[in-house]
Amino acid sequence: MEAAPSHAMPVAPPVHIAIIMDGNGRWAKARGLPRTAGHKRGAEAVRRTVEAAREMGVSYLTLYGFSSENWKRPEGEVTDLMGLLRLYLRNEVKHLHKNGIRLKVIGDRQRLGADIVRLIEDAEAKTSGNTALTLVLALSYGGRQELVDAARKLARDVAEGRLSPEAIDEDAVGARLYTTGIPDPDLIIRTSGEQRISNFLLWQGAYAELVFIETLWPEFGRAELESAIHEFHGRDRRYGAAR
């Protein structure tokens, strides 16, 4: 998909855009660089994309930063990724706060280092009152595990008499997901040409429009975001209804 010119971007962007950031390793390999270099450039793409989303008026931006399956990567790469995460949380929070951006992190925090969890909690608390954009980082996140956790919460509520089995509906499930209080994504973008959702927002993305682009994540920016939004506005969203 070629990037559409800036002037072609529709005036109103989707309320919630989610992105599967893919291609850091391939970007680095193509240049004879270590994977770490790709991840560092990917972090720069995060800043560009967050700034562009805020300027366009996007209300929610969810970025798939580190999946539950990513723990299986080589130990050195995981260590480097956690180091980059620490740097991001230390260096970017002031920038986010200054620009009115609220940060929320979803995923299994038990597998993250205690210092990272503290940085996340501090960042969420500091930016909690901001309204320009909500940036959701999915870290140590897996869609299936999220559904398992929601099922456990429902089971506990039923067992302890707070909920009847007959009262379990879609709203009850949604209220127990990591994303409670956040609208479902309208648009899910995946970079690098891969065409799968890789255990990302399985429940929430049921009716999201999917846009797959060839651009590797380190090269992603405003033009690619505008192009995906342009394609989104060309879709006929019927939510299962007949034409």
Annotated ligand binding at 121? The verdict is no
129 is in an annotated binding site: no
Kindly list the distances between the CA atom of residue 6 and the CA atoms of 9, 56, 101, 178, 230, in Å, as whole numbers in the listed order.
6, 11, 23, 34, 10
Q: Is 192 annotated as a binding residue?
A: no
Q: DSSP 3-state assignment of 94?
A: helix
Catalytic residues: 22, 70
The annotation status of 233 as a binding-site residue, yes or no, is no
Distances from the Cα of 113 to the Cαs of 79, 85, 138, 199, 213, in angstroms?
Answer: 11, 11, 15, 23, 33
Phi, psi of 187 (to 5 degrees): -140, 130
Any known ligand binding at 71? Answer: yes
Residue 77, marked binder: no
The alpha carbon of 129 is separated from its chain's Cα centroid by a whole number of angstroms, namely 20
Residue 111 assigned to a binding site: no
Q: Which residues are annotated as a binding site?
A: 22-27, 35, 39, 67-69, 71, 73, 190, 196-198, 209
Residues in binding site for Mg(2+): 22, 209
Annotated binding-site members for substrate:
23-27, 35, 39, 67-69, 71, 73, 190, 196-198
